[in-house]
Amino acid sequence: MKPTMKRRDAMALFGLAAWPVQWVSAEDLAVDPKAYFARPQMTGAAFSPDGKRLAMRSRNQEGRAMLSVLDLDTLTPLPLYAAESDDVLSFFWVNNDRLAFTLGDLDAPVADLDAGPGLFAVNRDGKGLRQLVERQRAWAANGNDQRKLLPWNTLPLASQPSQNNGSEIWAFRVEAYDGKDIGYLKLLSLNTATGTAREVDAPLHSEHWWVDQEGRLRLVQTRKGNQATLQWRADEAAPWKTLKAFDPYLEDGNLLVQGIGVDGQIYVATRRGSDKLSMWTLDPSSGELSAKPLARSPQFDVRAHLVQRQDQVLGLRFTIDAEVTQWLDADMKALQQQIDKVLPRTVNRLSVPWSGSEPWVLIEAFADVQPSVYYLFNRSTRKFTKLGAARPDVDPKRQAAMDIHWIKSRDARDFPVWVSTPQGSTGKNLPTLVLVHGGPWVKNTHWAWDAEVQYLNTLGYAVVQPQFRGTQGLGAAWEVASRKQWGLAMQDDVADATRWAIAQGIADPHRIAIMGASYGGYATLMGLARDPELYRCGVAWVGVTDLDLLYGAHWSDFSEAYKRFGMPTLVGDRVKDADMLKANSPIHVAAKIRQPVLLAYGEKDVRVPIEHGKAMRRALAEAGNTRVDWVTYPKEGHGWIEPATKVDFWTRVAQFLARNLAAAPA
């Protein structure tokens, strides 16, 4: 759960080494959004399996994310890989002596992405660098090695077994892809020393795989059309046994695999008669769930990541309103309590080496007012060492706190609303922004630093984030209640949250704007039309404006299978519900929108093509609304990537809001 302290001031580090930075003032941040949307510095770290070294990803002087290794005996870092035009995207240990990593350009908009992530491997001493996977859509030679690289559509599995004494990793190759949906995947075992790969036998149409810590494939999920299965085998010689069959577009099978434990049990999230997901173990031999759940919450779904050591499952890590680690090991529970006393105002994510024999603990500390800060803790010497920070230029004292409130919808359902008010304000009668998240079926907002929200708070606005029906992580009933409710009950929840903020005295009822991206952009436009008395203006970027066009835009990236099996139930049937879809499409209610609107789109967007924006702009013009700000970004897709785009867009937002939410003359 969220720490009990309502306001978080500076982090009390109790004598930890200071990080020399020059704080950015709130005034500077308000003037220049570049400061808030700058690239982070340190963005990840991972122990080698034996715990003798720590791999780190951080930004170098050229601004690129590089990979380095810290020798924990000497605390001496060694740069392993850095490039002038690429960033290290992902990385993981292959074994104690070798790492694998992928590359990409974190600042490149969609139009400039001309290469895949590839795959590379390097020894911990910087030697033995080898490219394994081509980045361009062509074969290429690797130095003097004339063997062909694996094709660009070969990718490593996100989760690799921690116990690996060899050089092989798990990967897959996309064999059939039409630009919208994956038709067939091939599972591979890839040798990072030789670059060779062999196909691994798996059930047809497999798209998710789980291996045990010995590197044996034990569990797969398949999908063909609207039929999915979860299948298990006891060993390589055993036949595959179906544990569950379900429709992947409308349900999750009520059996979400979170991993295979070193104890041989399958760890799953399931409802088991409840509205909320909770964590259980599943005995694969009997198919029986554990007698009691391992972790549950009365208000949130619990889907946990396993925290393991070679000898046991140590704990379960999951996010409800904030990140929580529920330790199953008494020693780790005591260690967490000790660290939390030293760092009382942050969530402190602890990681330990796989071997369990080394004294090191990696701490990633973060909060609503503080981006991640990384520390090493030596359990033998009790000494902390600060490694770095994601945003060392951000002063926690100047950031706005997030607080969660539970309110009732008009149909008497409880749902959460996050509220952030400007640091130092009274928190009352403030110009307010109702920020509607995209998706709409995405995980609920949680307690963490958010650049967009903090920037808007710095401008002097309260930010209200309603977790309207359809938001995932709040139980099955809340998610199912969103079906065929675009512009209807989902929109009511947003309006109810707005009226609640007014009733609580947070929002100045005469100075409220609604804003959001994607579905949030759709809800912004529908809010202006349906509840004009609530909102003085709106900001909608990459927003849906025509529900029928979601089906008809053949150039979008919605797959035909999703349009056939998912959308008719989730959004509405294109034929049977045509009148409802039309009535709840912003382009058909544009005449009701008289307020100022800022519309922004990426010209390369294939999720919500720019035709949505152009149609809305025409509809507003035809309805006589002349207060429309319009901007498009030629190279961007469904969201902003290029730093210059972010600065330009948020500068426009600041100017638009200042112009339209100005206080009324006395």
For the sheet containing 217-224, what is the strand order?
Answer: 206-211, 217-224, 227-232, 241-246
Q: Is the pLDDT of residue 89 over 50?
A: yes
Query: What is each CA distance from 112 to 109, 634, 650, in whole angstroms?
Result: 6, 11, 22
User: Over the chain, what is the mean pLDDT?
Assistant: 90
pTM: 0.91
Q: Is the pLDDT of residue 23 over 80?
A: no
Q: What is the pLDDT of residue 484?
A: 97
∠ Cα 14 15 16 (to 5°): 100
Mean pLDDT of 421-440: 97
Q: What is the pLDDT of residue 35?
A: 87
Q: Cβ–Cβ contacts within 10 Å for residue 632, how many?
A: 15
Q: What is the pLDDT of residues 54-71, one digit of tens each?
A: 999 999 999 999 999 999
More confident of the two residues 633 and 557: 633
Q: What is the pLDDT of residues 549-560, one digit of tens each?
A: 999 877 677 778
Q: What is the pLDDT of residues 437-485, one digit of tens each?
A: 999 999 999 999 999 999 999 999 999 999 999 999 999 999 999 999 9
Q: How confident is the model at residue 664 (pLDDT cuts 50, 70, 90)?
A: low
Mean pLDDT of 336-340: 98
Q: What is the pLDDT of residue 179?
A: 56
Residue 638: half-sphere exposure toward Cβ, Cα within 13 Å: 17
Distance from the Cα of residue 198 to its chain's centroid: 32
Mean pLDDT of 20-33: 48
Spelled out in words, what is the top-level CATH class assigned to the domain 400-660? alpha beta
Q: Are 650 and 33 in contact (CB under 8 A)?
A: yes
Q: What is the pLDDT of residues 204-249, one digit of tens each?
A: 889 899 998 888 899 999 988 888 888 999 888 899 988 888 887 7
Q: What is the pLDDT of residues 142-180, one digit of tens each?
A: 444 445 899 999 999 988 887 667 899 999 998 865 554
∠ Cα 321 324 326 (to 5°): 140
Q: How confident is the model at residue 24 (pLDDT cuts 50, 70, 90)?
A: very low
Task: Select from 304, 288, 295, 257 the least CA-distant residue to 274.
Answer: 295
Q: How confident is the model at residue 666 (pLDDT cuts 50, 70, 90)?
A: very low
Q: What percent of the chain has pLDDT over 70?
A: 91
